[in-house]
Chains A and B, each alone.
Chain A
Amino acid sequence: MITKHGATRAVVLAALMAGTAPAALYAATPADTLVVADAIDDIVSIDPHEAFEFSGVDLNNNLYDSLVELDPTKPGELVPGLAESWSVAEDGVTYTFKMKPGITFSSGNPVTAEDAALSLRRVVKLNKTPAFILTQFGLTPENVDQMITFDGDTVTMKTDKPYAPTFVYNCLTAGVANIVDMKTVMANEVNGDMGNEWLKSNSAGTGAYVLRSFKPNEGYIIEARAGHWRGDAPIKNVLMRHVPEGATQRLLLEKGDIDIAREMTPTDIAGVEGNADIKVQNDVGGQIYYLAMNQKKPELANPKVLEAMRWAIDYKGMTDTLLKGQWVVHQAFLPRGFLGALEETPYGLDLEKAKAALAESGVTLPLEVSITVRNNQERMDIAQSIQNTFGQVGINVTLDVGDGKQVLEKYRARQHDITLQTWGPDYPDPHTNASTFAMNPNNADEPKSTGFLAWRTAWEPGPLHAMTEAAVAEPDAEKRKAMYEEIQRTHRDTSAFVLMFQQARQDALRANVTGFHAGGATDSASYWTVTK
């Protein structure tokens, strides 16, 4: 309407032109630069041996490489990184990696086996949050100098006992196992921090890009390396802008001021459908939505009550409406994209089956329970849907609402009845979720094994614990896959958890952008494959 008032427009335009740059009128991103908008305020550190948040790992994936890597175009497939070959010895605990020759760090220093060994040792010695991904193999600051060694062009890593080789390799693809330029990093050491402070605003890797600038909560700029060992990246610069608001991202994308919007809401996504300049790319994320039933409450430990609950949730109704585009129905603890992930979804809303199971359970109806849930729109929507369908079969639910930390504290203290939670994998191997959902070494209140979700909800996994231990030691990849499938089936039907949804992700791109991979369930974007 305003646009139709030609005269007014001309006057105001003229007035504004006097002070406004014409540049604002021809907004388009430079041809050799990819401009991405995302919410990056989760970043705590971009030192690859400390970063453990989505946005930080995302960035580091483009700055660093590991000995072995996952193919960005084929999720789950191991490909050579800085090592050209790798093997495990007969003893099952000695892994050898042969370095690829002729690769240099961004400083120009050649990549050596020494850099690789010292980098992995640095992870263990720094012992930041993600260090457990390596220390779970029995590496400690005291023994790591003996466990990880180098000689010529080979790196050798020993584990404390035999594990499934795929488990070890998958863990080595995680961001925490990135190889850094140890000469440069140690030259910037301050007070024995092994260069940790310096790596919070600099990069020293072999990745396709080099960090040019990083401003927390504002954005970063990375620049492609010429003569990179993978071949030069078509996009010379990537500019990440911190834009927390989805509607704002949409506007920027529609105007062509950004090339990729990574944090748009389903409403915004629906708004750009039919816009020929924009395409929506669907992918999965690693997060899983689940309910955990506290086994200290006798009614909730009753298998028939748990069965009834599995049938009394409107999975599809939720993903078709309130979770549309954000979550898909998924009823196993391994996210799609992981080795052995189950994709079958046998449970659906069936009130009759639920009522029958409740009748068999022998509990007195109505059953009074509370669901501890975070005060967040999406979680409240899910909890209310469950409250509604549970109510129809005779389970009266009160919602116990708190902020994220309150809810988590309650869960860790085993004080919930039922709690609605999400969980994301820590590294790209099935053991990450299997160990927490299906293992519980000691179900007693003390010592507090809060690292195990099974412990938090006071569930004794029985034979699943041993099966999971066996799976993580299984040398044969195919057999290992079958073992996880069996564990997930049993877990799905008999555990104190109800697995419901897996995260779906929608990135909106300008139509001319191709080759962008968000990284699937491992959540790490690759920019070096992008063209526009």
Chain B
Amino acid sequence: MTDHPPDTAPSRLFTVARRLGTEMFTLAITLLGLLAMTFLIGRVVPIDPVLSIVGERATQEQYDAVRLALGLDEPLWKQFAIYVGDAVQGDLGTSIRTREPVLTEISRYFPATLELATLATIIGVLVGVPAGVLAATRPGTLADQIVRIVGLMGYSMPVFWLGLVGLLVFYGQLGWVGGPGRLDASYEMMMEFTITQYTGMILIDTALNGNWPMFANAFSHIILPAGLLGYVSMAYISRMTRSFMMNELGQEYITTARVKGMPEWRVIWVHAMRNVLVPLITVIALSYAYLLEGSVLTETIFAWPGLGSYITNALFAADMPAVLGGTVVVGAVFVALNMASDILYRLVDPRAR
């Protein structure tokens, strides 16, 4: 309206709004692409969803009726459009097998996975980052070799095997930790009837209820699978930390800092770490997202009712709404973590602001 130069506040607001808009658009496109991919895969695989509902005994008439009811006679694009339309409204469909809303089912399994993945990532970061720094600051020494070998083992040993051996040793032989499942039998009953469940995450719920013996029992059950998954992510995090840190330590500003007589811990943990953090956040977010998908093998061995086994079971039962719903949730988690790491970037790296 006027030819005054726009003042800074609206322009910043505009930038933020535009950035947010772009990100929402990217998010929408990503999720739509994800839906399209999974939907197509679901239609291409030679699985008959009708047979999985009616079972082996059904007559041809029952079979045809269910096929019609599922809308499987509609053209493919129409089936997809209906699915996307419902998903936008928060309706991920109804599980073919149990006829329960997929979202309800997922909200039951996701907290178990979230609890496990979060603890595992905390362990992975708390051990992995210092180990990587240790290895980077003493390259070629025994410490470096140990970190590398331990990391390699975490990389290369099958989780299935590690889990069973872990159970056999720490639960079976030594009795240091609780067994498979999220609680002991007696606590499981208590959990069901005397604890107010706020989040579905037992550690948090028992803490909020102030039931510390049960908290401790839950901790004894989660520590082994979380430690195991934490070990695997630690392997990845420590290797990446080492390589990022080595790179930073070769920079001139580090030499300058050292020449100035700055204490070594400050050089490493304050100056170098600041720059290491930027790529490291991506690494940690990726590894966290990977764990949030749910680890089928770990969940199976530890009888952990998580998202991974939910999606896998759904696949085996040809329950495509459940598979698609699970995939969308996993995809959304990925996107959300991506956005979170973007925000963290800006906090630690002024150039990205």
- A interface vs B, CB < 8 Å? 2-3, 9, 12-13, 16, 19-25, 27, 29-30, 33, 35, 37, 41, 44-45, 52, 129, 132, 200, 212-213, 215-219, 221, 237, 239, 241-245, 247-248, 251-252, 254-255, 257-258, 403, 405-406, 408-409, 426, 447-451
Alpha-carbon distance between A200 and B95 when the two chains are bound, in angstroms: 14
CB B11 to nearest CB in A, in angstroms, measures: 52
B174 — which chain A residues lie within 8 A by C-beta?
2-3, 9, 13
CB B176 to nearest CB in A, in angstroms, measures: 5
Question: Which of B164, B167, B189, B221 lies in contact with A221, CB distance below 8 A?
Answer: B189
- Known A251-B167, A450-B60; judge A257-B179 contact (CB<8 A): yes
CB nearest neighbor in B for A447? B60
The answer to the question of B243 belonging to the interface, with a C-beta cut-off of 8 Å to chain A, is no
Q: Which of the 9-residue segments B45-53, B83-91, B256-264 touches chain A?
A: B45-53
A23 — which chain B residues lie within 8 A by C-beta?
178, 184, 187, 213, 216-217, 220
A248 — which chain B residues lie within 8 A by C-beta?
167, 180, 300-303
CB A336 to nearest CB in B, in angstroms, measures: 22
CB B161 to nearest CB in A, in angstroms, measures: 11
Alpha-carbon distance between A251 and B172 when the two chains are bound, in angstroms: 6
B168 — which chain A residues lie within 8 A by C-beta?
251
Q: In the complex, are the beta carbons of B223 and A19 less than 8 A apart? A: yes
Q: In the complex, are the beta carbons of B167 and A21 less than 8 A apart? A: no
The answer to the question of B186 belonging to the interface, with a C-beta cut-off of 8 Å to chain A, is yes
Question: Which of A20, A216, A255, A448 lies in contact with B216, CB distance below 8 A?
Answer: A20
Question: Which of B176, B301, B305 lies in contact with A16, CB distance below 8 A?
Answer: B176
For the complex with contacts A212-B193, A255-B172, 6 further pairs of A-B residues with Cβ separation under 8 Å are A13-B176, A20-B216, A22-B216, A215-B108, A239-B188, A408-B51
CB nearest neighbor in A for B303? A243
A-B pairs, 7 with minimum CB distance: A21-B216, A24-B220, A243-B303, A24-B178, A218-B305, A35-B185, A448-B60
The answer to the question of B80 belonging to the interface, with a C-beta cut-off of 8 Å to chain A, is no
Question: Which of A20, A219, A245, A447 lies in contact with B300, CB distance below 8 A?
Answer: A245
- Known A21-B219, A245-B300; judge A409-B184 contact (CB<8 A): no
Q: In the complex, are the beta carbons of B302 and A24 less than 8 A apart? A: no
A3 — which chain B residues lie within 8 A by C-beta?
173-174
- Known A19-B219, A251-B172, A255-B172; judge A24-B303 contact (CB<8 A): no
Alpha-carbon distance between A176 and B54 when the two chains are bound, in angstroms: 17
Chain B 200-231 against A: per-residue CB contact (8 Å), 1 yes, 0 no? Answer: 00000000000001001101110100000000
- Known A3-B173, A16-B177, A21-B219; judge A213-B98 contact (CB<8 A): no
- Known A239-B188, A257-B179; judge A41-B51 contact (CB<8 A): no
Chain B 153-191 against A: per-residue CB contact (8 Å), 1 yes, 0 no? Answer: 000000000001001110111111111110011111100
Question: Which of A25, A221, A237, A245 lies in contact with B175, CB distance below 8 A?
Answer: A25
- Known A216-B105, A251-B179, A257-B185; judge A242-B303 contact (CB<8 A): yes
Question: Which of B179, B189, B193 lies in contact with A252, CB distance below 8 A?
Answer: B179
Question: Which of A12, A37, A257 lies in contact with B184, CB distance below 8 A?
Answer: A257
Alpha-carbon distance between A20 and B56 when the two chains are bound, in angstroms: 48
Alpha-carbon distance between A239 and B183 when the two chains are bound, in angstroms: 12
CB B127 to nearest CB in A, in angstroms, measures: 14
Question: Which of A20, A30, A216, A251 lies in contact with B186, CB distance below 8 A?
Answer: A30
A to B CB contacts below 8 Å, 16 in the list: A2-B174, A20-B220, A33-B189, A45-B99, A129-B54, A212-B192, A215-B305, A216-B98, A242-B305, A247-B301, A248-B167, A251-B167, A252-B180, A257-B184, A405-B47, A405-B52
B72 — which chain A residues lie within 8 A by C-beta?
none
The answer to the question of B345 belonging to the interface, with a C-beta cut-off of 8 Å to chain A, is no
B54 — which chain A residues lie within 8 A by C-beta?
129
CB nearest neighbor in A for B97? A44
CB nearest neighbor in B for A259? B185
Alpha-carbon distance between A212 and B192 when the two chains are bound, in angstroms: 9
Alpha-carbon distance between A213 and B56 when the two chains are bound, in angstroms: 30
Alpha-carbon distance between A450 and B48 when the two chains are bound, in angstroms: 16
Question: Which of B55, B171, B309 lies in contact with A217, CB distance below 8 A?
Answer: B309
- Known A20-B219, A247-B164; judge A221-B192 contact (CB<8 A): yes
Q: In the complex, are the beta carbons of B51 and A405 less than 8 A apart? A: yes
B309 — which chain A residues lie within 8 A by C-beta?
217, 244
CB B191 to nearest CB in A, in angstroms, measures: 10
A243 — which chain B residues lie within 8 A by C-beta?
180-181, 303
Alpha-carbon distance between A267 and B277 when the two chains are bound, in angstroms: 49
Alpha-carbon distance between A244 and B308 when the two chains are bound, in angstroms: 14
Alpha-carbon distance between A215 and B111 when the two chains are bound, in angstroms: 14
Alpha-carbon distance between A514 and B326 when the two chains are bound, in angstroms: 42
Q: In the complex, are the beta carbons of A254 and B172 less than 8 A apart? A: yes
Alpha-carbon distance between A97 and B97 when the two chains are bound, in angstroms: 36
The answer to the question of B244 belonging to the interface, with a C-beta cut-off of 8 Å to chain A, is no
Residue of A243, A245, A255, A258 most packed against chain B (CB within 10 A):
A245
Q: In the complex, are the beta carbons of A27 and B178 less than 8 A apart? A: yes
Alpha-carbon distance between A130 and B52 when the two chains are bound, in angstroms: 15
CB nearest neighbor in B for A17? B176
Residue of A200, A218, A242, A449 most packed against chain B (CB within 10 A):
A218
The answer to the question of B313 belonging to the interface, with a C-beta cut-off of 8 Å to chain A, is yes
CB nearest neighbor in B for A411? B56
- Known A20-B216, A406-B46; judge A426-B57 contact (CB<8 A): yes
CB B39 to nearest CB in A, in angstroms, measures: 19
Q: In the complex, are the beta carbons of B217 and A21 less than 8 A apart? A: yes
B59 — which chain A residues lie within 8 A by C-beta?
449-451
Q: In the complex, are the beta carbons of A239 and B189 less than 8 A apart? A: yes
Alpha-carbon distance between A102 and B189 when the two chains are bound, in angstroms: 32
The answer to the question of B318 belonging to the interface, with a C-beta cut-off of 8 Å to chain A, is yes
A257 — which chain B residues lie within 8 A by C-beta?
179, 181, 184-185
Residue of B171, B221, B223, B313 most packed against chain A (CB within 10 A):
B171
CB B318 to nearest CB in A, in angstroms, measures: 6
Alpha-carbon distance between A213 and B302 when the two chains are bound, in angstroms: 21
The answer to the question of B310 belonging to the interface, with a C-beta cut-off of 8 Å to chain A, is yes
Q: In the complex, are the beta carbons of B179 and A21 less than 8 A apart? A: no
Residue of A2, A22, A44, A447 most packed against chain B (CB within 10 A):
A44
CB A405 to nearest CB in B, in angstroms, measures: 5
B164 — which chain A residues lie within 8 A by C-beta?
247
Question: Which of A44, A219, A244, A408 lies in contact with B98, CB distance below 8 A?
Answer: A44
B105 — which chain A residues lie within 8 A by C-beta?
216
Question: Which of B56, B179, B301, B302 lies in contact with A255, CB distance below 8 A?
Answer: B179
Q: In the complex, are the beta carbons of B185 and A217 less than 8 A apart? A: no
Alpha-carbon distance between A405 and B217 when the two chains are bound, in angstroms: 42
- Known A29-B185, A245-B303, A450-B60; judge A24-B175 contact (CB<8 A): yes
Q: In the complex, are the beta carbons of B186 and A33 less than 8 A apart? A: yes
The answer to the question of B149 belonging to the interface, with a C-beta cut-off of 8 Å to chain A, is no
The answer to the question of B29 belonging to the interface, with a C-beta cut-off of 8 Å to chain A, is no
CB nearest neighbor in B for A45? B98
- Known A2-B169, A30-B185, A245-B303; judge A405-B55 contact (CB<8 A): no
CB B55 to nearest CB in A, in angstroms, measures: 6
The answer to the question of B58 belonging to the interface, with a C-beta cut-off of 8 Å to chain A, is yes
**B59-78 contacts to A (CB < 8 Å):** 59-60
- Known A33-B189, A217-B310, A255-B172; judge A21-B220 contact (CB<8 A): yes
Q: In the complex, are the beta carbons of B98 and A21 less than 8 A apart? A: no
Chain B 270-312 against A: per-residue CB contact (8 Å), 1 yes, 0 no? Answer: 0000000000000000000000000000001111010001100
Alpha-carbon distance between A403 and B188 when the two chains are bound, in angstroms: 37
Alpha-carbon distance between A244 and B180 when the two chains are bound, in angstroms: 11
CB nearest neighbor in A for B52? A405
Q: In the complex, are the beta carbons of B223 and A258 less than 8 A apart? A: no
Question: Which of A20, A217, A403, A408 lies in contact with B177, CB distance below 8 A?
Answer: A20
Q: In the complex, are the beta carbons of A20 and B303 less than 8 A apart? A: no
CB B313 to nearest CB in A, in angstroms, measures: 5
Q: In the complex, are the beta carbons of A405 and B173 less than 8 A apart? A: no
